[in-house]
Homo-oligomer: A and B are copies of this chain.
Amino acid sequence: MSKYSMLGQLIAHPGKRDELAGLMLESAETLQGMEGCIFYIINESVDEPDVLWITELWETEEAHAASLKNEGVLAVIQRCRPLIAGVKPVKLRPLGGKGM
């Protein structure tokens, strides 16, 4: 089964990036014990003040899909929603490398 990679920009409403990052870091806490999540990292853009980049790697696409049904994750998504002005996902296929 091939691994599943997610990459995406979250664009916060002006001035709301830090608050959004805080909530996303809480969501990462929920993922700590979640099976199939290899990494899930919240980054802030250096050049774009309202932009976060989320980089994720999962054992399978199914593991990622299952995480989106987790109650803790859903609760965080609900709380993030009012802070988010836009989302730009980048569809990737992970090929290999260190840490996979």
Tell me whether B44 and A100 are in contact (CB under 8 A): no
Task: With CB as the reference atom, state the residue of chain B lying closest to A46.
Answer: B91
User: Could you say how many copies of this chain the assembly holds?
Assistant: 2
Give 27 A-B contacts (CB < 8 Å), ordered by A residue: A5-B41, A5-B43, A5-B55, A7-B53, A21-B95, A24-B97, A25-B96, A25-B97, A31-B98, A37-B98, A39-B39, A39-B97, A41-B57, A41-B96, A41-B98, A41-B100, A42-B94, A42-B95, A42-B96, A43-B92, A43-B93, A43-B94, A44-B92, A44-B93, A46-B91, A46-B92, A57-B99
4 tightest A-B CB contacts, nearest first: A39-B99, A46-B91, A43-B92, A28-B97
